[in-house]
Amino acid sequence: MIGSTRKSRTFVGIAASLSLMAAACGGTENSGAGDRTPAQGDCPVSPLDVVVSVDQWGDIVSQLGGACTEVTTVLAGSSVDPHDFEPAPSDAVAFEGAQLVVVNGGHYDEWATKLAETSAPDAAVVNAVDLAGGHADDHDDHDHDDPAHDDHDHSVNPHVWYRPDVVTAVADAVTAKLSELSADSAGYFTERRAEFAASMQRYDDAVAAIRTGAAGKRYAAVEGVFDDMAAALGLVNRTPQGYQVASNNEGEPSPADLDAFLTLLADRGVDVLIYNVQTEGSVPEQIRAAAEQAGIPVVEVTETLPPGAESFQDWQVGQLDSLARALGVGA
- Which lies closer to Zn ion via its Cβ, residue 162 or residue 203? 162
- Which lies closer to Zn ion via its Cβ, residue 225 or residue 327? 225
CB 208 within 8 A of CB 140: no
From the list 64-72, 174-182, 220-228, 291-299, the region that binds Zn ion by CB under 5 A is 220-228
- Which lies closer to Zn ion via its Cβ, residue 113 or residue 199? 113
How far, in Å, are 128, 247, 259 from residue 256 at the CA level? 36, 14, 5
Residue type for 62, please? S
Q: In the complex, what is the shortest distance from the CB of residue 304 to Zn ion, in angstroms, rounded to a whole number?
A: 9
How would you class 26 by CB atoms within 10 Å of its CB: exposed for 0-12, middle for 13-18, buried for 19 or more? exposed
Q: In the complex, what is the shortest distance from the CB of residue 302 to Zn ion, in angstroms, rounded to a whole number?
A: 10
- Which lies closer to Zn ion via its Cβ, residue 226 or residue 261? 226
Query: How many whole angstroms separate alpha carbon 306 and alpha carbon 56?
Result: 10
Query: How many whole angstroms separate alpha carbon 30 and alpha carbon 21?
Result: 12
Query: How many whole angstroms separate alpha carbon 276 and alpha carbon 279?
Result: 6
CB 52 within 8 A of CB 305: no
Question: Per-residue x/- mask for Zn ion, residues 222 to 261, rule CB under 5 A?
Answer: ---x------------------------------------
Binding residues for Zn ion, rule CB under 5 A, total 3
From the list 90-98, 285-293, 295-303, 315-323, the region that binds Zn ion by CB under 5 A is 295-303
Measured between alpha carbons, how far apart are the two ends of the chain, in Å? 33
- Which lies closer to Zn ion via its Cβ, residue 106 or residue 164? 106
Q: In the complex, what is the shortest distance from the CB of residue 85 to Zn ion, in angstroms, rounded to a whole number?
A: 12
From the list 118-126, 209-217, 221-229, 311-319, the region that binds Zn ion by CB under 5 A is 221-229
Instruction: Give the footprint of Zn ion on this chain (CB under 5 A).
Output: 1, 225, 303
